[in-house]
Amino acid sequence: MSARAAYAGATDTGLARSHNEDAYLVEPPLFAVADGLGGHMAGEVASAIAIETLREEVRPDSDEEDLAEAVRRANARIAEAVSEGRGRFGMGTTLTAALVRGTDILVAHVGDSRAYLLGADGLKRVTRDHSLVGELVRKGTLTEEEARHHPNRSVITRALGSRPDVEPDTYRVSAGPGDRLLLCSDGLHGMIRDNEIEDILLRAPDAQAAVEALLSAALDAGGLDNVTVIVVEIGETPQDAEGRSGRRWLAALGWLLAATLLVGAACLATYQYARHRAYVIDEGGVVTVYRGIPGELAGIELSWREQVTDVRTADLHPRTAARLAEGIPLDDLEEAMDLVAQYRLMVSEGSTVTP
Ligand code: MN
């Protein structure tokens, strides 16, 4: 039994739909999300065919071209199914697939499901949406926020099953150990913003917890669509922990190594969390901004001084000064800077009143 899940996936019908047309695959090294389109249960047929085709065609050593070919094959199979009377004309599916080998990630993608990578610099989108609003955002015609509320936000410009010659985008990503890969349908990213996704991914202790937290966030936000989420911890090889050797010391060594890795991964997660946070504190009578978290954790300091400001604690309200003595934790550096700006304003307003 492993204490921490290296990968996990789950899907939920959501709160507004009668059935789930999403499908997903969690068979390391292969992971995929498909969001079926077409309604009347045809979407379910299309997404299931896409996932099944990948499972059959992709090998652990497949390269980018093999992966793209498997996606093309899935497209052809959906068309064949329609001609055989399974599903119905016009059915289709998105497909976002990732082949994860150590820190090397291959992605093939069609539609508006997404792959994200949480790395040392935060959350990055790996894929570009094949959607009307996605293209308008890239052209600068719409903002990300306008796209979220656009009436045509669900119009997809590329999907499997729609044309005989669908070409997937492929990406090769070199991740770092401790990074987290996220695959999801638009039932997640249509309901919650990227910064919320990032926050949840950063805080979750493992892949299983991340998947559960992301799903419930999408449902809390309204759950207007089927939602599917896969999270993979990069750099952890989910190989069988049972040693084949009967020798006890070898098994013990394995457990020791596993425990070390576990502690290492937990430290890394804490470190990643810490470096995105910020706090302000009174240091020598001056408000000082830090990245990280105040105090120390298991004897390790997780903070980096960012700025010694020109705001003197003595000029602030005594209650604020008292809080500053302890340090005030904030979500990120931007929030910390905002707070300092507020202090500055308070000080300058105070000085115009009292000569
Ligand atoms: Mn959807």
pLDDT digits (tens, 9 = 90+) for 152-168: 998 999 999 988 999 99
Output the CA 121–ligand 1 centroid distance in Å.
28
What pLDDT band is residue 298 in, cutting at 50, 70 and 90?
A: low
- Determine contact, residues 336/330, Cβ cutoff 8 Å: yes
Distance 192 CA to ligand 1 centre (A): 13
226 CA distance to ligand 1 middle (Å): 6
Q: Where are the beta strands (DSSP E) in 187-267?
A: 227-233
Q: Is the pLDDT of residue 188 over 50?
A: yes
* pLDDT score recorded for residue 251: 66
Q: Which residue has the tokens 């449902």?
A: 219
Token pair of 79, please? 């068309």
Residue 136 CA to ligand 1 center (angstroms) comes to 19
List strand residue ranges (DSSP E) for 111-179, in order.
114-119, 122-125, 169-174
28-42, 102-116, 126-140, 300-314: least confident range: 300-314
Does 130 have pLDDT greater than 70?
Answer: yes
Nearest to 187 by CA among 155, 147, 154: 154
Query: pLDDT exceeding 70 applies to what percent of the chain?
Result: 92
The DSSP symbol for 161 reads: T
Say if residue 1's pLDDT is above 50. Answer: no
- Please state the separation of Cα 348 from the chain's center in Å: 42
237 vs 127: which has the higher pLDDT? 127
Q: How far is the CA of 217 from the centre of ligand 1 (A)?
A: 16
Give the model's pLDDT for residue 328: 87
- Compute, in angstroms, the gap from residue 113 CA to the centroid of ligand 1: 8
Q: Quick check: 231 pLDDT over 80?
A: yes
Strand partners, 115: 183
Distance 176 CA to ligand 1 centre (A): 30
Query: How large is the average pLDDT for residues 290-312?
Result: 82
With a cut of 50, say whether residue 147 has pLDDT above it.
yes
Q: For the whole model, what pTM was predicted?
A: 0.67
For residue 250, is pLDDT > 80?
no
DSSP state of 294: E
Residue 219 CA to ligand 1 centre (angstroms): 13
Q: How far apart are the first and last CA of the chain?
A: 70
Q: Using an 8 Å Cβ cutoff, are 34 and 235 in contact? A: no
Using the mean position of ligand 1's atoms as its centre, give its distance from the Cα of residue 185 in Å: 6
Token pair in block for residue 135: 């293209």
- Please check the confidence at residue 318 and state whether its pLDDT lies above 70: yes
In sequence order, what E strands does 39-101 have? 92-93, 95-101
Q: How far is the CA of 249 from the centre of ligand 1 (A)?
A: 51
pLDDT band at 242 (very low <50, low <70, confident <90, very high): very low
CA–centroid distance, 225 to ligand 1, in Å, is 6
Residue 320 has pLDDT above 50, yes or no: yes
Predicted pLDDT at 245:
37
pLDDT at 39 > cutoff 90? no
Residue 73 DSSP SS3: helix
How many angstroms does the Cα of residue 187 sit away from the middle of ligand 1? 5
223 phi-psi bin (left φ>0, alpha ψ -120 to 50, beta other): left
